[in-house]
Amino acid sequence: MKILVTGGNGQLAACIKDVSKDEKHLQFIYTDSEDLDITNHQHVADFFQNNNIDWCINCAAYTAVDKAESDVDLARKINKDGAKHLAIACKANNVKLIHVSTDFVFDGKSSALYSETDVAEPLGIYGLTKLEGEQAIQENLDAYFILRTSWLYSEHANNFMKTMLRLAETRPELNVVADQIGTPTYATDLASVMLYIINDNSTKYGLFHYSNEGVASWYDFADAIFDIADTKTKVFPIKTEAYPTPAARPQFSVMDKSKIKQAFKIAIPHWRVSLKQAIKNL
């Protein structure tokens, strides 16, 4: 099977490379924006026609949450229009799509786990354009898996875990927000689920939530990073208003993973277990 991976230089694509290195029956094409401009409908159509693709994993996204507030057009071109162009090309060429979305589609005002059927009401442009991307896929394609995830980190690229470890090299103390609650997710775990869906050649299409198990604040996450890495840096909890940002974040975005666990009979690791593995791999 031939699998196109957009956003091929990013964190999640790097994790797909890690988990697929022994999958000799799978051939991957990793593209960046220079190889495949997903914001250009004709470019996408031509690429699909010229390559005999079976699956597309869309890891390409505009993910700069704060910058998106002032860079609305580009965020929408990538997150909405790009998703739409891929969905249309997938339909025209009988390709199955795995698309990555986000917990930021929710406003965070719930105190219960968010399910796939809960109303999405994004607080910012990033979440809004990602939701528009989901809707564009649903309107143009039947053979899709939309995987909403949260707080991705890994050994690759830039992410919260690596930032905290870098800061810990020079800072004896750090203040980290403690009133935003979600679930850290090891991108390698998400990549493994994608590979499972492809190897299963699944037709259980739809919208799914996937993160690691458990609940944490950013403060909890930082504290665990320093504990597991055995650093001397002390971390202190602060409120969101003490660290203002251009984009509002959901205060609670823990997702219910029942649907994906039942559909694919998978066990999901606790976030702290996966964090230990990621730090060990570093």
State the catalytic residues: 126
CA angle 229–232–233, rounded 5-degree value: 95
The number of beta carbons lying within 10 Å of the beta carbon of residue 44 is: 25
Q: Which tokens is 32 given? A: 């960046």
Q: Which residues contact 163 (CB under 8 A, 6 or more apart)?
A: none
Six token digits for residue 185: 């997710």
The residues pairing with 28 across neighbouring beta strands, listed in sequence order, are: 3
Q: At residue 19, what is the residue type? A: V
Cα gap 186→213, rounded to integer Å: 11
For 272, the token pair is: 């702290």
- Give me 227's structure tokens: 């504990």
Find out whether 98 and 147 touch, Cβ atoms under 8 Å: yes
